[in-house]
Chain A
Amino acid sequence: MRILGGVQLGLALLGGAAVCEPAPEAAKSYGPAQSEVRLTVRGTTDIARFEPVLEKFLAHSDGARIEYEQWGSNDLYLATDADCRSGYAAADLVISSSIDQQVKLANDGCAASYRSDETTGLPAVSNWRDEVFGITWEPAVIVYNRNMIGDALAPRSRFDLIDLLRPDDSAFRGRVATYDIEVSGLGYLFAFADSQQATTFGRLIEAFGRSGAVATCCSAAIIDGVASGDYLIAYNVLGSYALARADENPDIVVVAPDDYTLVLARAALIPRHAATPELAGEFIDFLLSAPGRSALRSANLIVDISEGVHAAMRLPENPEVSLRPIPLSVALLVGLDQHKRREFVSRWRAAFPKE
């Protein structure tokens, strides 16, 4: 068998968008500047959100310095994949919400194996090959503005949402927003997972299409729209972002749908050629330990349902059944397949025509 070079599969993920040199969106350093021990962490999480977690880790370790780079998920995937091929890894730890891409990196041999008491304690859905670890717990939620819709009217499930969108004179026409799955890797991941969960997905897409729902980029923009009243409902938003916004704006209500709620665990992996894999391992252990989890909880990256649910959060009636973590497994590769993605996007695009 010939082994060819190339990154065709990776490039396909950009959906034909122009390719630039992948680069971080922002970067910040923590810890003593002179420190010999450096850990470079690349993540899709906003610096501001992740900062308390990094600082808490530094407080536990002696004298380490952390370079945190905030990346877009596709760029992060491409950069990590390129590092894997070049034999030099710029990052020691990669944490991405695009868990399908993370699994693909591990599948293609780009991740180093790491085992500790903390990682072996993880459930099977949150640990693939001892290479990819799910570190957060973030539900995909429906968000609405209490000022705009009464709680009685607010949808508690996808069925409610479909019903709200059905009437031709529905007040929700053109005022429901969700991710543009061609732009947002996370939006694609959630939409693709939706399509596997239930037959509701077809009807939901159809309802979105008929009611002129808006597909747009980024969690922040969507939730801003809900806060400002431009959008009445946001669908499939990452719960952690929604709750963070609810901390500031008490009108924001976060609903974990009753029928089912997807739960995303941001995935961390140590690149194969990482310079300081031991320190990266220590950081993973910290994230999985009680202090780390508490820091993640404070940053709303772990949405705790067992003790003290967030005031803005509406849990499903039957959390054990409804909350469905997306498992880390090779099945995630299917969504990344060129043809599969093309087919899925074209089906989705039929409901959300490009303007």
Chain B
Amino acid sequence: MTDPAVRSRIAGSLRFRLAAGIILVLAIGGVAVAYAAFTYGRDAAQQSFDRLLVGAANQIAGALRLRDGEVVVDIPISAFELLSLAPRDRVVYGVFGDDGTLITGYDILSPPDGDGIFFTDSFAGETARFVRVTRQFSERSFLGSVDVIIGQTTEARRELAQQITRNTLIAVAAIGVGMSALAALAVQSALSPLQRIERDIAARSSKDLTPVDVNVPQEISSLVHALNRFIARIERQLHVMRTLIADASHQLRTPIAALRAQAELAAEETDQEKTLKIVGRIHERSRNLSRLTDQLLSHALIIHRADTVDLEAVDLRTVAAEAVDQTDQSMPDVDRSIRLALPEAPVMCDGDRLSLAEACKNLINNSLKHGKSPVTVFVLEQGGHARIGVRDGGTGFPEPMWQTAGSRFAKDAGVSAKGAGLGLAIVNAVSEAHGGQMRIARPSETAFEVFLELPLLPEDAA
């Protein structure tokens, strides 16, 4: 069944898509975390060393004294020991009086404008972070504020920030690798049902058309259902095909052989009158043969249509009228009067108009051939079902045969001179294709009914 020339189009790989998606998510997450780590590291380092700076400035401010109206700065050594916790960083400082004059410290400094506590500037060619702490004096001898400004270069801050960032990134990278590995396992496991289906199908014999029976997760169960529906359709169509071939070979062989025998007889016959008689028989047999062929094909067609044609809303009264209209009017030996018993309101069914009409015609033909007058085509609603069928005045066939009437060649006699016995099989097939069934009834001694009982189409849907 597999043709190497037929290849399915490959539109990317699921594995690749999942991997790309996961990598994208991890990459975006990684960048976000890296940025966060960088910011956090920078802020954490900034805060830590700012505290040292403030601590040192506060110590100096706390050591300010007044003597004879002069500010005396007695810098505690511990203030600078605090600053030397950033062991490589330069320090610059200044203590400024109320009017901005330098009291002690570096004269290259001057108080900045504004009231900010922290500011950034450069010292000795390096970026430095500065803090200003102001101390108010309200003494008789001195009224005013003194600014203590300390600056420190930022080498230790940068180092700490880098260290925090680096450690965070290492942790994030390790987590990322772990997550990638888990994601790979997850993808592998998520795709494994597909492989099971593949193995199941690959392991089948070429004749195995049973449904795929593999435990699959919810997400691909619809795929398996669709696949199984598809397999079932193939199976049905193959069945129809086989049936058609079998029926054709079996049913057609005998009449054709008979026809040929009659034709040979006719060819050898010299007597004009006998020849005409034989020709008459040939004509009759060929007509039977023609009907048989019709029925075989129509049975196959009906079953084929059941699979392929979409059902539509159909008014069964129209179907009945069409069927009567199309009934072969040239049939001999029959009373041609066919009655129609239709209700006033439409009887709507979801159906295939052609199949239904074909089924109906078969019923009419059967009644015309085997039943007695009057032959009535009726449509009615009963018990929530729609019925379309034919009633005649005969007794019909015996009750024990009703069960098997729907199967092909139920009359077991193969092909009779008048009918092929496929009629009820077609009716049965059509009923089933419409979700209904074929019913046979004998309401009275002089009435015999065969009809299709079909689900009614709800009125609002019609």
Contact = CB atoms under 8 A, between A and B. Distances in A.
B90 A107 contact: yes
B126 to A, nearest CB: 8
A333 B88 contact: no
27 contacts: A1-B110, A1-B112, A1-B121, A1-B130, A2-B110, A4-B107, A4-B108, A9-B106, A9-B107, A107-B90, A109-B90, A109-B123, A109-B125, A129-B90, A196-B77, A329-B81, A330-B83, A330-B84, A333-B80, A334-B75, A334-B76, A337-B73, A339-B74, A339-B103, A340-B73, A340-B74, A340-B104
Contacts of B92: 107
A3 interface: yes
Interface centre among B73, B89, B111, B121, by most chain A C-beta atoms within 10 angstroms, is B73
A6 B87 contact: no
A329 B152 CA distance: 13
Contacts of B87: 124, 128, 329
Contacts of A108: 90, 124
Interface centre among A6, A196, A333 (most CB of B within 10 A): A333
A128 B90 CA distance: 10
A211 B179 CA distance: 79
B217 to A, nearest CB: 62
A329 B84 contact: yes
B241 interface: no
A338 interface: yes
Contacts of A199: none
A334 B77 contact: yes
B108 A338 contact: no
A331 B110 contact: no
Contacts of B80: 329-331, 333-334
Interface string A1-31: 1111110110000000000000000000000
A338 to B, nearest CB: 5
B55 interface: no
Given A129-B90, A330-B80, 4 more contacts: A107-B92, A124-B87, A330-B90, A333-B91
Interface in B60-78: 72-77
Contacts of A337: 73, 75, 104-105
Q: Which of A3, A329, A334: most chain B CB closer than 10 A?
A: A334
B121 A107 contact: no
Contact of B110 (A4, A330, A343): A4
Contacts of B112: 1
B121 to A, nearest CB: 5
Contacts of A128: 87-88
A8 B107 contact: yes
Interface residues of A, number: 26
Contact of B72 (A6, A8, A196, A343): A343
A95 to B, nearest CB: 21
Interface size bracket, B side: 35 or more
B75 A340 contact: yes
Nearest to A7: B107
B108 A6 contact: yes
Nearest to B112: A1
A108 B84 CA distance: 15
A342 B177 CA distance: 63
B103 to A, nearest CB: 7
A340 B103 CA distance: 11
Nearest to B70: A339
B109 interface: yes
Nearest to A335: B77
Nearest to B111: A1
Nearest to A192: B77
A5 B107 CA distance: 8
B102 interface: yes
A50 B110 CA distance: 43
Contact of B84 (A5, A9, A331): A331
Contacts of B74: 339-340, 343
A108 B121 CA distance: 15
A124 to B, nearest CB: 7
A243 B81 CA distance: 33
A191 to B, nearest CB: 14
Interface string A311-337: 000000000000000000111011001
A47 B219 CA distance: 92
B132 to A, nearest CB: 11
B73 A331 contact: no
Interface string A58-79: 0000000000000000000000
B110 A129 contact: no
Interface in B100-151: 102-112, 119, 121, 123-126, 130
A110 to B, nearest CB: 8
Closest 3 CB pairs of A and B: A109-B124, A339-B73, A339-B104
Given A1-B110, A331-B84, A339 B75 contact: yes
A331 B77 contact: yes
A169 B103 CA distance: 45
B87 to A, nearest CB: 7
B81 A331 contact: yes
A330 B91 contact: yes
Interface in B34-88: 72-77, 79-81, 83-84, 87-88
